[in-house]
Amino acid sequence: MAAKNAERTLVDRWRGILAVHARTMCHLDRELHQHGLGASDFEVLDVLAGETSEGGTGVFRVQEIAERVHLSQSALSRLVGRLEKDGLVERTMCPEDRRGVRVQLTGKGHALYVKVLPLQRAVLARMLDGVES
């Protein structure tokens, strides 16, 4: 009986995490849509604008971005393609590995990022206030 209760508690916690994630992503998508972005789009811009890459240049390999935004390589490639088409990022070939692709923000991408950052952070604060970490 105790094992069943522990298992139920574990599953309930997991489903709670999933529910918070889903609600937060929906709110982010809704708020960011007015700026032509979705939650995943913003996550990529946030990675590119925030932390520095391994080389400290602000230019990231696609694999580095994928590790931070938790998207498959193919989903991320499509997303980066859309961002590039919109003039928010640019892709270049990796000089040390011709198979690799690097991505960086454009001036337009950085300006949009700065504009929507407070909105995204406000949604996170509102949605995650009181959620256990």
Q: With respect to residue 44, please indicate whether it lies within any of the assigned structural domains.
A: yes
Q: Give the residue-averaged pLDDT of 94-111.
A: 86
Q: With respect to residue 109, please indicate whether it lies within any of the assigned structural domains.
A: yes
Q: With respect to residue 16, please indicate whether it lies within any of the assigned structural domains.
A: yes
In this structure, are residues 84 and 90 in contact, taking their beta carbons and an 8 Å threshold?
A: yes
Q: With respect to residue 73, please indicate whether it lies within any of the assigned structural domains.
A: yes
Would you say residue 51 has pLDDT above 70?
no
Distance, CA of 47 to CA of 50 (rounded, Å): 5
Question: What is the token pair recorded at 109?
Answer: 């991408």
Domain that holds residue 45: 2-128
Q: With respect to residue 133, please indicate whether it lies within any of the assigned structural domains.
A: no
In this structure, are residues 25 and 127 in contact, taking their beta carbons and an 8 Å threshold?
A: no
The CATH number that applies at residue 76 is: 1.10.10.10
pTM listed for this prediction = 0.85
The SS3 assignment for 91 reads strand
Q: With respect to residue 43, please indicate whether it lies within any of the assigned structural domains.
A: yes
CA distances from 116 to 10, 102, 124, 128 (A): 36, 24, 13, 18
Would you say residue 119 has pLDDT above 60?
yes
Q: With respect to residue 45, please indicate whether it lies within any of the assigned structural domains.
A: yes
